[in-house]
Chains A and B, each alone.
Chain A
Amino acid sequence: MVTSQRPDDAASSLPSALDAWFESRGWAAFAFQREVWRAYLGGESGLIHAATGTGKTIAAWLGPLLEWHAECVRGEALATRQRVMRRSRAPHLRVLWVTPLRALAADTRDALVEAQTALAPEWTVETRTGDTSTTVRARQARRLPTALVTTPESLSLLLTRQDIATLFDDLRVVVVDEWHELLGTKRGVLVELALARLRRLRPGLRTWGLSATIGNLQDAHDTLLGVRPRPERSRIVRGVEPKRVVVDAAIPPVVERFPWAGHLGTQMLPQVVAAIEEGRSAIVFTNTRSQTEVWYQAILQARPDWAGRIALHHGSLDRKRREWVEHGLRAGLLRCVVATSSLDLGVDFSPVDRVLQIGSPKGIARLLQRAGRSGHRPGATSRATCVPTNALELIEIAAARAGMERGTIEARLPIARPLDVLAQHLVSVALGGGFEPDALKAEVRETRAYAALHDDEWDWVLRFVTSGGASLRAYPEYAKVVRRNGAFVVESAMVAKRHRMAIGTIVSDGQIDVRYLRGPRLGSVEESFIARLQPGDRFVFAGTPLEFVRVRDMQAWVRRAKSAAGAIPRWQGSRMPLSGALSAAIRDQLGEAARGVVRGPEMEAVRPILEVQRRWSRIPAPDELLIERVRTREGHHLYIFPFEGRLVHEGLAALLAYRMSRSAPITFSMAFNDWGIELLSRDPAPLPESLAAGLFSAHDLAQNILASLNATEMARRQFREIARVAGLVFPGYPHAGKSARQLQASSGLFFDVFTRYEPDNLLVSQAHREVLERQLEGSRLGRTLARLSSSRVVITEPRRTSPFAFSLLVDRTRERVSSESLADRIRRMQMVLERVAG
C-alpha cells in the first residue's frame, strides 16, 4: 500500500488479501474510494461522481467484498461459508449491479471478477441481459449468482418472478452504474420503481449510484435514494479530479470557401486522416449512425492500406461485431474506430490517445465524456479535436470549450409521473406475487418520479390494468390483472408471456434485424427505414453496400451489393439538439463578437463570415433578439434567432406561427434548427401587431402549443413509445402464430381510436404532456420566452440571406431529404396546396 496512514476504524482496515491485490497491480487506493468503503460498511447509501476510468467501479464494488470478508472474520458468514464450500455452491444474491447498456454488461462483469477472484473466490458473478443464453437463464431461474450484472429491463423482469419474496433475502446493495445516462429517461424511472420494490422486500438495502459529473448532482442523488420517511444516511462522493482535457478544432484552410452552414460533406477528410496518423489509436465520433457509415467509407478510401485496422461501431450493429471492435480497441489493434454515442460509455480503451468529433458536440457534458475516452494512461491528457462540417460550427466548438473551461455542465432533469411506465410496473408486480393497491400506491410514491402522483391518476392506472379503462366503460372480456383474495395478480399465461416479452422493449424503437440470405445477422435498423425500401433497393449498413431482398419473419433479408451507387440515404433521425448550457455559451460567444472581441483560433477563423453577418444584418448582443425580414421569390421570410437549440425552436416555431396567425389570416411554412426559426408566408407577417400583443409572452403557453396542429402530430408520434411501454403494442416475434398477429395494430391507430372514442384516456394526455415537457422541453421553452420577452427586439431587413439565416435555409431543405427528386417534391407540394385551397 502506498498510503502511509490507515484509519483506525476497524471497518475500513483493509484485509491483507486486499492489500496484496492492490500491490500486485501497483495501485493505491484513492481517498475517495476509502470514503465510499467506510460509508458503505457503515450502512450508508450514496452517489459517486467522477470522470470515466477513475476507479468508480472499484469504489462501489469493494465495499460489498469487504463486508463479506468482515462477516467471515466475525464468523457470521462462517457457517454459510462452510456450507457453501461443502456443497460447492456460491452464496445467494448479495449485489445487483445495474448498467444502462447491455453491451456494457460483459465488460462490467469482467472488471468485477478481477477483484472478486482475489477477495471472495466463493462468489459468482454473472450477467443477465437480453443477450443471456437460455441455459444460463434456466440456471439463474433456479439460483441467482452472488452478484448479478443486469439492465433496467432485466431488473424489472426479476420483479415478475414468483419466488420474489425470498429471492432478495441476502441482497445487500444495488449499484446503479452510469446513473446519469438513466436519469431523465423512462428506463431510469423503471429503476426507481424497482428500487422502491426492493427496499420494501429488503429493509436496510443500500443503493449506490455511479455517475459522470453533471449539472444537478443533488437531483441525481435524491432521485436514486427516493422519497422516504426514514432513509438511511447517504452522501455524495466526488471522485478524483478529472484528467486534463484539451479541446481544439481542425480549422479549415480557407474559411471563405467553406460552406456557411448545413453541409454534411467530408471536405475536412485530409485533416482528419492527418490527425489519426499522429496518434496510435483514435476514435472518430459522429452524431448520427449514417454519418459513421459516410466517414468510415471516406477514411477507407483515403487510406486503403488501413483496411482491417479501421472499424465502425454503432448501436444497431450486431453484438458480436461490436465486441470484436471493442476488443480490437483495447488490444491496440485498431488504428481508428468511427462511432456514435455507442462508444460514449463503457470500460476503458487504454490505447486510445486521440478523439475526433465530427461536427459540433452539441453539448458540453458530451464533449467532456467523449474527450475522456482518450488518454487513459496515468498522467496522460485527454485530447479531443472537433472537426467542423460548416463554418458556423466553429462558433459552437469555441462555445463548447469556453463552457467546459468555465465548468458549465448540463443538468439531466428527471421526468415526472409517466403513467405508461407505472402501468407496466403494476403488471410486473401483479406477476411477481401480486399486490395490495394501497400498499403499492404508498410504495410507488416513495420514488421521486411518482412522489406527486395524484390519487385519480393512480386509480386510473389501476383501472387501466384491471378493467381496461374508465370504470363506466369496463370491458367484460378484458382480464389483464385480476383480483384474487384481496390481491391483484395475473392469471392468464398469455398475458404473463406477452408482458415479460414486452418489458425488454422499452427503448428499441421499432428495430428490425438485418440478415444475409445465406449468412449471419448484421444488426438492426429502424423499421420505418426498411418500410420505405423495395426489393432491389440498395443501402449501406455496417460499412457494406447491401441489396434489400425482402422482409419475412420480422427480419430484413439482404444480399451483398456490388457497389453503393444509388444507395438510399438513411433518415437522419437521431440528430442531436443543442443543449441548453451550450446554447447559452453560444450566445456569450456571439456577444463577444458583437463587441468586436475575437478570442481563440475558431473565432478568428470564422471572423470573415461574422463580418458578413454584421455588414448585412447584425450580430446580436446577449440581451438582443435578432429578427431578419427578407423578401424572396418564395415569399416573405421571417428569421428569428433565439439560439436555444432545435428542440426549443420546434415548439417555439409552432407557437409563434400560431400566435401570429391569430391576429390575421395567414399561412406559414416553418423551419427550425439549433440557431433559429424561419417563418415563411406569401403575405408579410403581422410582426409589429403581434409583438405588441405579446408574441413572446409565456401566457397561455401550454394551451397555445397544444392548439397548433403540429403539436397534435407530435403527440401522435410521442404516443408510439407510450403505447409500447403501456403494453398496447407489443413486438412481434419470429414464428408468432396467426392469433398473435391478429392482435397487432400500430400505435398511431391506437392514438386515433383513443382520441375519438375515449378522449379522457390518460395515456393520450400523457402524450400531450410529454410533448410539452420533454419533446419541447416545456420548462426551457418557458424560460426562453421569459428571456425573449425581456430582450430588445432588433429587426433588420437584409437584402440577401445572411449567414445566420443561410443555416436555416440549408437545414430546412435538408429536413425534407428523401429519395425523391426535387421536381417530384415540388410537384407534390403544389398538388397538396391546390387540394387544400380547393
Chain B
Amino acid sequence: MTAEVIAAGETLTLFSQRAALWARMDTLLIADPHWGKAAAFRAGSIPVPRGTTTAALGRLDRLIACTGASRLLILGDLLHAREGRAPETLRAIAEWRSRHARIEVVLIRGNHDRRAGDPPRELGIACIEAPLFEPPFIFVHHPVESAGAYVVAGHLHPGVRLAGPGGLRARLPCFWFGARRAVLPAFGDFTGLAPISPESEDRVFVVAEHDVLEVTGPSSSRGSGR
C-alpha cells in the first residue's frame, strides 16, 4: 500500500517500506538505514540478534523490483559506526549491490557516515556532501531550512504517537511534509523513533504495518491547548 503526496509541485509516492519514489526522476529515496548498527552493538558486548541489516536489504530488493527505479538516493547515515563494519555485514551489502549492479546509488553523507567512513569503493556508491540540488528539491541529511528550494531530509527518525479509546496506543514512524521541508522515516529496522511536533498545516503519513495512512490534528503527546 502506498500514498501519494505533492510537494513543491512534484508527486512523491510513499511506501510502507519507509521509502519514497520520485517517479519523474526514476529515483528511490531512503534515509538513515544505519546498517551494521546491530553488529556495532555486538562488538560492544551488547547482544542484539542478527538479521536486521539483512531484512532491510531484502526490503530494498522488493522496493527496487516493484518501482524499477534507476537511481537510489540515500539521505545519510548508511553505516552506523566504524565498529559495525563487520565483514559479514559488508559482505551482505556487497551481495545486495551485485544483485542490482545497474542501479545508480548515491549517498549524501550524514553525521554517522563521517565517523563510520564511506562504504567500500568497490560497491560503486557515490558519496557526496550535502546539499544535492535537483530543482525543485534540495536533498540533505540534516533537515535545515532553505530559501531557494524544498528540502528533503532524514536524520530525525520522525515518529508520532496515536491514542484512542480503550487504551489503544501506537507509536509509529512517519513521513513528515511541511510547507518548505519534508523528513523521511528512518529506513533501518534497529533505529528507534523521535517524536515530532508538526504544525497544524503540516501533513503527516504514518507507516502502520503494510499501510501508509495520513493522520491529521495533534498527533504527538502534546497538544495545542496550552
Contact = CB atoms under 8 A, between A and B. Distances in A.
Contact of B46 (A710, A727, A754): A727
Contacts of B9: none
Contact of B47 (A468, A738, A833): A468
B165 A669 contact: yes
B43 A477 contact: yes
Interface string B169-213: 100000000000000000001111001010000000000100001
Contacts of A710: 167
Contact of B50 (A498, A757, A827): A757
Contacts of B219: 828
Contacts of B40: 742-743
B47 A753 contact: no
B15 interface: no
B216 A831 contact: yes
A492 interface: yes
Nearest to B48: A753
Contacts of B213: 835, 838
B39 interface: yes
B192 A836 contact: no
A76 interface: no
Nearest to B115: A738
A819 B226 contact: yes
A824 B225 contact: yes
A827 B112 CA distance: 39
A262 B43 CA distance: 51
A494 interface: yes
Contacts of B165: 669, 680, 829, 833
Interface residues of A, number: 59
A22 B40 CA distance: 63
B192 A745 contact: yes
A480 B189 CA distance: 24
B162 interface: yes
B81 A742 contact: yes
A359 B189 CA distance: 46
Interface residues of B, number: 49
Interface in A757-782: 757-758, 761
Interface in B120-170: 162-169
A827 B190 CA distance: 32
Interface in B24-45: 38-45
A739 B164 contact: no
A479 interface: yes
B223 A819 contact: yes
A521 to B, nearest CB: 26
Contact of B49 (A479, A494, A754, A819): A754
B81 A739 contact: yes
B162 A494 contact: no
Nearest to A761: B49
A757 B41 contact: no
Given A713-B169, A742-B80, A824-B223, A728 B47 contact: yes
Interface centre among B115, B195, B223 (most CB of A within 10 A): B223
Nearest to B192: A749
Contacts of B115: 738, 742
B163 A823 contact: no
A495 B80 CA distance: 20
Nearest to B221: A532
Contacts of B167: 669-670, 710
Given A727-B46, A821-B225, A832-B164, A749 B218 contact: no
B217 A824 contact: yes
A667 interface: yes
Contacts of B42: 468, 475, 477-478
B45 A478 contact: yes
Contacts of A829: 163-165
A473 interface: yes
A836 B168 contact: yes
Contacts of A833: 164-165
Contacts of A836: 164, 168
A767 B178 CA distance: 39
A821 B223 contact: yes
A753 B37 CA distance: 12
Contacts of B162: 828, 831-832, 835
B218 A820 contact: yes
Contacts of A226: none
B192 A753 contact: no
Given A478-B42, A753-B189, A835-B215, A668 B48 contact: no
B163 A753 contact: no
A819 B222 contact: yes
B80 A669 contact: no
Interface in B66-120: 80-81, 83, 86, 112, 115
A190 B224 CA distance: 46
A495 B216 CA distance: 46
A667 B165 CA distance: 10
B58 interface: no
A745 B41 contact: yes
B156 to A, nearest CB: 15
A61 interface: no
Contacts of B83: 739, 742
A828 B217 contact: yes
Contact of B192 (A727, A743, A746, A758): A746
Interface in A667-714: 667-670, 680, 710, 713
A97 interface: no
Contact of A534 (B44, B216, B222, B224): B222
Interface centre among A566, A728, A738, A742 (most CB of B within 10 A): A742
A820 B169 CA distance: 16
B44 A494 contact: yes
B46 A828 contact: no
Interface string B47-68: 1111110010000000000000
A825 B166 CA distance: 13
Given A670-B167, A820-B223, A821-B225, A827 B45 contact: no
A260 interface: no
A464 interface: yes
B47 A828 contact: no
Contacts of B50: 473, 475, 757
Contacts of B166: 657, 667-670, 680
A818 interface: yes
A464 B45 CA distance: 10
A494 B167 CA distance: 42
A745 B45 CA distance: 14
A699 to B, nearest CB: 25
A620 interface: no
Nearest to B162: A832
Given A710-B167, A743-B44, A753-B38, A824 B49 contact: no
B142 to A, nearest CB: 16
A584 B163 CA distance: 35
Given A477-B42, A478-B43, A728-B46, 14 more contacts: A464-B47, A477-B43, A477-B86, A669-B166, A742-B115, A753-B38, A758-B49, A821-B225, A825-B223, A828-B218, A828-B219, A829-B165, A831-B215, A836-B168
Across the A-B interface, give the 8 residue pairs with the lowest CB-CB distance, nearest first: A821-B225, A820-B223, A832-B164, A669-B166, A468-B47, A757-B49, A758-B49, A480-B45
Interface of B: 38-52, 55, 80-81, 83, 86, 112, 115, 162-169, 189-192, 195, 197, 208, 213, 215-219, 221-226
26 contacts: A464-B47, A468-B45, A473-B50, A477-B43, A498-B45, A532-B221, A532-B222, A667-B166, A669-B166, A728-B46, A742-B81, A743-B44, A753-B38, A757-B50, A757-B52, A818-B221, A820-B218, A824-B218, A824-B225, A828-B164, A828-B219, A832-B168, A833-B165, A835-B208, A835-B215, A836-B168
